[in-house]
Structure 1
Amino acid sequence: MSAIVAGTRISPDLTVLGIVASGDSGRHPVYIVWHARAWCPMACKVFTSPRRLRREAALLATLDHPNIVRCLGARRPAHLLMEFLEGPTLAALIRSRPRGRLGVSDAMRVAVHLGAALVHTHERGFVHLDVKPSNVIVVRGRPVLFDFGIACRPTARRLRRPVGTAPYMAPEQCRAGTVTPATDVFGFGVTLYESLTGRLPFPGGSRRPFPQITVPPRPLRQHAPAVPAALEELVMRAVDVARRVRSVRRRLTPPRSTGHLDRPGGGV
């Protein structure tokens, strides 16, 4: 799909302002558009399949949480409108820090907000299947989960093929097995591990496309000794297949907090 040029009117009241995410690697492109009737910017995800548009729009319509992107409706032929979230992704925020990782307090806040988003998603009967730092936008210090393109309801049926982003995929995703909320617990844990260390918990390489299936995770404090042992235990219980907990609410959501991410240099 070729990119839509800024200034293009894609419907009578929607004009493209710019691109947020390209459609590389089979992804659907996302644009910033100006909504003339609402008189505000929105995010617009452009689909090639109206069926996939209806599926994602229906899923997002069941979710209502401050840490999950809001769906604002669908337009023909295949445009999904969402709130425009202005801020860096969590991946960009991690890279921007002096040591390439978040401080403990910021990582704890990510855990609280992202954990709350996943609890809500699971309570509504869905699994996200692509939890990772680049799918979290930090809006004035508030982490917001987005991109529910491959989310589904957990069933006893196996996946047709491995889906997700390789380093964040649970072993059952890698094997195209059955998925449950515990599948998202794994991605949640890898996201927190990366937030605290700037690294992934499993050594990669072309010979091991999915090392998480056979290789144990490296101890978190091996890379970040200042992280408290209790926090390391929380994260390792999410990424260690032998000890993984089954739900975010049960074991992984840290003590309740309403704080926002610390703002380096006075702003995020």
Structure 2
Amino acid sequence: MSTAANVPSTALVTGASSGLGTEFAEQLAARGHDLVLVARSEDRLREVAEELTRKHGVKTHVVVKDLSRQEAAREVAQELADRALTVDLLVNNAGFGTAGRFEQIAAERDHDLLMVNVVALVGLTHALLPGMLERGSGAVLNVGSTAAYQPSPYLSVYSASKTFVLNFSLALRQEYRGRGIKVTAVCPGPVETKFFEVVGTRNAAVAGSFTTPAPVVRTALAALDRDRPYVTPGLGNALSAHLTPRRPRSLVAWVGEKICRKALKPEDGRGVAAQSAAG
């Protein structure tokens, strides 16, 4: 285990079965953290857990859970209590997106998106942050997106969910500054994961250049170490995020619609839905 000051000893990572979640688990294990890995895909999750234990000698605990379910966060917290596990770093990574014309996306899919991207994220934070406060230290790292910075037509529910993640993280950080709790949001651009294989087109990455999970996770953990409120990995992504005008909002949305048309399938313009490998 790492003995560095203020470094949490046990980290819980949601969506740990692939993509950014697996990379977070890898880099945290390399730092010496024990891990609680949460995802739906039991076989893959256990493979990841066994590999990290073998490679880094850390303890790994698997919690198989579908975070789109109403009671998911409460059930995860109960499993932690039943196993007498204390979590000092919560990485809310699990999430997925839908893309296309709003009326052609199944309402159930957008409902599940909000359950995973927003409700489960808040629920797990509610469940674990009080214990961090009691112990006088802890951290929450939330995975957002560059989509958080502006309205994104044809990605409307996804981008709105990530705007929530960013603003929630910033507000929470202000509440707990000086109380031993760090809160950081990471807002990456397009990342090479299975998200775009499932969506059916890489054009759903409407802005920014693709990167791989490793540098995104390194940047996120470095930002958390420095107690930064948020970070946008990649110079191009950061410039785009911070140089884009924020007002008038209607104009920003109009420009966003022109840019985000790329998310539509060119052959027929029908909506498409994607689920990341985070679950």
TM-score by length of 1: 0.29
Higher relative contact order (CA 8 A, sep 6+): 2
Structure with bigger helix share is 2
TM-score by length of 2: 0.28
